[in-house]
Chains A and B, each alone.
Chain A
Amino acid sequence: MTEKLLEVRDLKVHFNTQDGVVKAVDGVSFSVDRGETFGIVGESGSGKSVTNLTAMGLINKKNATISGQVLFKGRDLLELGGDDLRQVRGKEMSMIFQDPFACLHPFYRVGDQIVEAILAHDDVPKEQAKKRTLDLLRAVGIPQPEERFRDYPHQYSGGMRQRAMIAMALVHNPDLLIADEPTTALDVTVQAQILDLIDRVKTEFNIGVILITHDLGVISEVAQDVMVMYAGRPMETGTRDQIFNQPLHPYAWGLLESIPRVDQKGTRLLPIAGAPPSLINVPPGCAFHPRCPHRFEPCDKERPEFVDRGGGHPNACHLSPEEKRRLWDERETRRGAKV
């Protein structure tokens, strides 16, 4: 099989601040292929956004120490200079963000902003760019594109704005689309529409999609492979079925159990005690150990390696595969989730 579309190897991004070194990303590896959606799930401070912003070159490199590799179609993006990276950005790799209202410039018409994206990489006559924009607006499901072209962002609804952002991200037929919390700010019915749209785009254009979110439900709907992040580190990576049916990390267990499920009777929620750690003072050993009900001897001393210990997919936890299976089964039974 040829090279992966995107391969991240041991990426580390540390920021030097007045209060200390913020280890925003601390050793992340994963890969994405065309035609698949890779989900990255984590709470605030997990490093999921910084990872992808670094790949896109949107991180201010002045105060950051970056190491590792980000191989996009074989080329290491971290080695590219400003201008070269700018060529890739928006053309071969694009990104859409969480709050589409804040992401569009309030003073310029939406159509013009999309045309600007086209002209940034393609020297074509404005008329042609405008036509392409109208085609894209139609393709993403915005009705009456000619009128909507001339509107300002504040005249669009939330769902329409996100569609416009998606259109803008697709102008150059990128190979990879990164969607950072694309539906968090949207109503649930609109969320369903947008996820549907992203999925269609993925299949029609045969691109790779990275979907970043804190919402496990969204991940379960659209992702084929999932990585769970915590405190800048990967905790577990596997296929969707593996993560949801047979998770191998106590953090993943905690997450799954603390979400009230729509399709289940209200059992008492089992939250994870404590709060996510500061990224300046990451707990020694396993970053999750202070909140982990199953911690034991090595957890506060040795940082667990992110490997497949025989459970079927890689994870960063010292517990043995048998222990993990047992504990997970216990939890499921206790919740009454197991039949």
Chain B
Amino acid sequence: MGRYVIRRLLFSLLVILIITLLTFVIFYVMPPTDPARAFAGKQPTPEILAEVRDQFGLDEPLFKQYGRFVHNIFLGDEFGWPGLGFSFDSRSAVKDELFKRASVTLQLAIGAALLWVVLGVSIGIISALNRGRLGDRAAMGFALFGVSTPVFFLGYIGLFIFWQTLDVLPGTGYTAFGEDPGQWFLHMIMPWAALALLYSAFYARMVRGNLLETMSEDYIRTARAKGLSERKVVFKHGLRASLTPVVTMFGLDFSTLLGGAVITETVFNLSGLGSYAVTAVLGGDLPVIMGLVVLASLAVTLMTLVVDVLYAYLDPRVRLA
């Protein structure tokens, strides 16, 4: 098992390096915009451009630039660790803004994730156990709704009902937890719900399918033949076996979300990584773009590794890799 984890970690590192290299090539080598020009601002004079190039080493050979980039990530630059450089747009360290935004996105992601897992799995179980009956049909109807409704639609409807009309929730925007826990919570409820509704629908369907399939397996019959209570049969034997695919899916979904939920952040005006990414790409703010890419790929590869290890823990047949 240990060997497996080490191998995966090394491989993940390789993947991240390749992704950053590709991003570097795309944005620094083949850009429609000249990085120097992007930084220098409106109508720069040739002297300013030259100075910019000099300051950022943009005249140096490309592999040297890339090498410096990698070096800075691991060992830090003048702004601290990890060295992600200097935002063209805000003229401040990328690192600080990135971390601040990442924390918001993290809060959004974790809250939504908790909600959708609990909701999705419960609905899935109820559905599977009441197959064909009203509970099942209602649940699957809900699932269809959740899957088909766009997040922004849900978001605006939610804002309209709960904020504008009923005035029970504060509207868009974000209040840090440290400032006012109550307000923070109230601000986050709707974004959490909007995101969770979509994912819980998927998960409900998946759990339902898996559980139905598992319950027809032979070992379930054995469990019943032993005289176990139906509750034990479903939860201890049935559910355990049907959750492993859910774990894998969760890893993927959650890690993608960590890269930023653009639409939700926009609708609810949360300054997370999603909106950061959009502005950076549109504005050609290359260091920010690179920083975001590194962060996102790190999140996904690590999460995938965690999920795989978890899977091996859950399913002993996989362990002997």
Contacts and interface: CB of A to CB of B under 8 A. Distances in A.
Interface of A: 56, 58, 82, 86-91, 94-95, 97, 99, 102-107, 116-117, 120-121, 152, 154, 165, 168
A116 B229 CA distance: 11
Interface of B: 217-219, 221-230, 232, 237, 240-241, 314-317
A103 B218 contact: yes
A113 to B, nearest CB: 8
Contact of A87 (B219, B223, B227): B227
Contacts of A56: 225
Contact of B218 (A90, A97, A121): A97
Contacts of B225: 56, 58, 89-90, 94-95, 97
B217 A91 contact: no
30 contacts: A56-B225, A82-B230, A89-B227, A90-B225, A90-B226, A90-B227, A90-B228, A94-B225, A95-B225, A99-B218, A102-B218, A105-B219, A105-B222, A106-B219, A106-B315, A106-B316, A106-B317, A107-B240, A107-B241, A107-B315, A107-B316, A117-B227, A120-B228, A120-B229, A120-B232, A152-B316, A152-B317, A165-B222, A168-B222, A168-B226
A97 B221 contact: yes
Contacts of A95: 225
Given A102-B217, A104-B222, A106-B219, 17 more contacts: A86-B227, A87-B227, A88-B227, A89-B224, A89-B226, A90-B226, A94-B226, A103-B221, A105-B219, A105-B222, A105-B223, A106-B241, A106-B317, A117-B227, A152-B316, A154-B316, A168-B222
Nearest to B223: A105
Given A103-B221, A105-B219, A105-B237, A117 B317 contact: no
What 10 pairs between A and B have smallest CB-CB spacing?
A90-B227, A102-B218, A90-B226, A89-B227, A117-B226, A105-B219, A152-B316, A103-B222, A103-B218, A95-B225
A323 B232 CA distance: 56
B226 to A, nearest CB: 4
Nearest to A91: B227
Given A106-B241, A107-B315, A121 B227 contact: yes
Given A87-B227, A89-B224, A102 B219 contact: yes
A99 B222 CA distance: 11
Contacts, number: 69
A104 B316 CA distance: 13
B228 A116 contact: yes
A95 B225 CA distance: 7
A104 B226 contact: no
A106 B230 CA distance: 19
B241 A105 contact: yes
A154 B237 CA distance: 17
Contacts of B217: 102
Nearest to B229: A86
A106 B318 CA distance: 11
A87 B240 CA distance: 25
B56 to A, nearest CB: 55
A244 B299 CA distance: 70
Contacts of B241: 105-107
A82 B232 CA distance: 15
A165 B225 CA distance: 11
Contacts of B237: 105
B224 A58 contact: yes
Contacts of A88: 227
A97 B144 CA distance: 40
B219 A104 contact: yes
Contacts of A107: 240-241, 314-316
B316 to A, nearest CB: 5
Contacts of B316: 106-107, 152, 154
Nearest to A154: B317
Contacts of A152: 316-317
Contacts of B226: 89-90, 94, 116-117, 120, 168
A95 B223 CA distance: 11
Contacts of B314: 107
A175 to B, nearest CB: 14
Contacts of A82: 230
A58 B222 CA distance: 10
A165 B221 CA distance: 13
A154 B219 CA distance: 13
Contacts of A102: 217-219
Contacts of A104: 219, 222
Contacts of B228: 86, 90, 116, 120
A189 to B, nearest CB: 24
Nearest to B225: A95
Nearest to A101: B218
Contacts of A58: 221, 224-225
Contacts of B219: 102-106
Nearest to A168: B226
Contacts of A94: 225-226
Contacts of A121: 227
A110 to B, nearest CB: 11
A181 B308 CA distance: 37
A168 B226 CA distance: 8
Nearest to B132: A62
A239 B219 CA distance: 34
A241 to B, nearest CB: 33
B212 to A, nearest CB: 13
A154 B320 CA distance: 11
Nearest to B314: A107
A98 B44 CA distance: 81
Contacts of B221: 58, 97, 103
Given A102-B218, A103-B221, A107-B240, A120 B317 contact: no
A82 B228 CA distance: 11
A121 B229 CA distance: 10
B160 to A, nearest CB: 45
Nearest to B316: A152
A333 B209 CA distance: 57
